[in-house]
Structure 1
């Protein structure tokens, strides 16, 4: 069985994987499975009030989970040079544990071939959060992932060609009328 198939089997069964995202090392699970999301929260020692980021492989996949958003989002996605996470005002079909308290959701359309293959094999978005204990530095290589995290995950999907960006994605928030707020540079 390929590593991608094993990773998707783990995710579909409610497990959590450790994998290199399109920016840094991350934890991933099925964002529609509340028990898997809770497991990620426990692993990261993360406050339940914080929302998560999802990765999708395409705009059509994004549109399945974000029912409406301003037209400017298409331009932002198409012209982004660096990984860009957009927080949309509403979402559907996801665990309430991944959304903000206001129902918003942060989603990034990944351009990374490795992440795209994982998502396409899974055929659904993947929850993506940095593989660190909340408040600790982001792991830019597998060696910097805390041992407590490694012991609690269900599978590691490695990419020998991974090159960390040293920083997580940029984050912007889109209002219902198209207003843009910079959240993280």
Structure 2
């Protein structure tokens, strides 16, 4: 059984390595997360971010969040986040996106006028491998055209999206996603809290 597990882990690592190679070259990937399938790119690459907006036919910066590997990684990209936000992040028992003030170090076209950044630390093995390999935040936005329903699984993703990315992760590595979007909580610099989506 251990040999089978090791082989599966090696296969997942190879898939993640290939996805990271594409991301480092400015490419777009279609990949599974702990919630729904997402379109991703290196969050520090403005040209790649622009490609996602074009692919989704949307300029809505609020629809784009980033995945970070940990709270430690998150603090490098939001410099005004209150401490309570990280307490909430640590205590979350289901997928939770935090809207945090003071976005820095990511592509300018990811940051809305109010200077915030949506961040989630995914509880998902494949995403963790991507983040470990990329060593930067990974854009995560639902794999749908603007105005259309969020696809829960790869089989529901529009052909235009599938054809518009550079790499589609094998659905074998999907894990056990919730198949619904995460909860969203926004934090102000002074620790003010606003629930955006339960």
Q: TM-score, normalised by structure 2?
A: 0.89
| 1:11 and 2:23 matched | yes
* Equivalence map 1:89-100=2 (5 Å): 89-100=101-112
Determine which of 59, 66, 69 is the counterpart of 1:47.
59
| Partner SS for 1:40 | helix
- Gaps of at least 5 residues in structure 2 are 1-12
Matched, 1:120 2:99: no
Aligned residues: 185
Query: 1:44, 1:133 within 8 Å by CA — same for their partners in 2?
Result: yes
**Pair 1:162-2:163 in alignment:** no
CA distance in 1, matches of 2:16, 2:41: 13
Q: Which has the higher helix share?
A: 2
Question: Offset at 1:78?
Answer: 1.1
1:171 pairs with 2:184: yes
Q: Deviation at 1:50? A: 3.8
Contact 1:51 1:98 in 2 (8 A): no
Secondary structure of 1:2 counterpart: helix
Structure-2 residue corresponding to 1:109: 121
Deviation at 1:25, TM superposition (A): 0.5
Q: Note the aligned Cα RMSD (angstroms).
A: 1.5
Taking the aligned partners of 1:158 and 1:180, their CA distance within structure 2 comes to 38
Unaligned runs of 5+ in 1: none
Q: For the residues of structure 1 that align with 2:53 and 2:74, how far apart are their CA atoms?
A: 23
